[in-house]
Amino acid sequence: MSKETIKNTTKKSPPKKRKKKRKINIGKIFAVFITVCLSLGLMLYPFISNYFSEKHAQSVVNTVEKATDNADINQYKDELEAAQKYNKVLATGKIKLKDPFDESAEDEEEKEYKSLLNMTDDGVMGFIKIPCIDVSLPIYHGTSEAVL
């Protein structure tokens, strides 16, 4: 062997580069996690809200059905007669005007209206069943014709 080959074999190889360990940035991971959670929450909100709204409406309808099932025929007649009497008074135009800005002035007519067809004392005067889409919705006092 020649001196050159001995020198070449004895040369040290260049040092290997060490891979730097990346530090895990907890702040970035937390920010991504929060962003994903908020995004999922915003996407799922309409579905969750609709679910709870339907459950509430169904429980109100069930309460009204139980109350009407337990009522007797005379109570039905009395409620209907009182409602028809109230409607006749409205049709004659004998309405007492009140100050619309006085919040404490709940007059007798408003109390009477809220008591009509209110067998469960929660403001529900009936419900609508729509069988083709399998929906039952309560009708509250003050619901306008446009809403119905």
pLDDT of residue 74: 82
pTM of the model: 0.58
81-140 pLDDT per residue, tens: 888 888 887 778 766 677 777 766 666 667 777 777 777 777 888 888 888 988 888 888
3-state secondary structure of 138: strand
Encoding tokens for residue 141? 């006092």
Strand partners, 124: 140
**Is residue 67 a contact partner of residue 119, using CB atoms and an 8 Å limit?**
yes
Write out the E strands in 1-148.
124-130, 135-140
Q: Does residue 138 contact residue 64 with C-beta atoms inside 8 Å?
A: yes
Question: SS3 for 103?
Answer: coil
Phi and psi at 90, nearest 5°, equal: -65, -40
pLDDT digits (tens, 9 = 90+) for 57-75: 899 888 888 887 777 778 7
Output Rg (C-alpha) for the chain, integer angstroms: 37
Structure tokens at 41: 């929450």
Query: Phi, psi (5° rounding) for residue 97?
Result: -80, 145
State the pLDDT at residue 68: 79
Instruction: Report yes or no: 98 and 89 within 8 Å, Cβ to Cβ.
Output: no
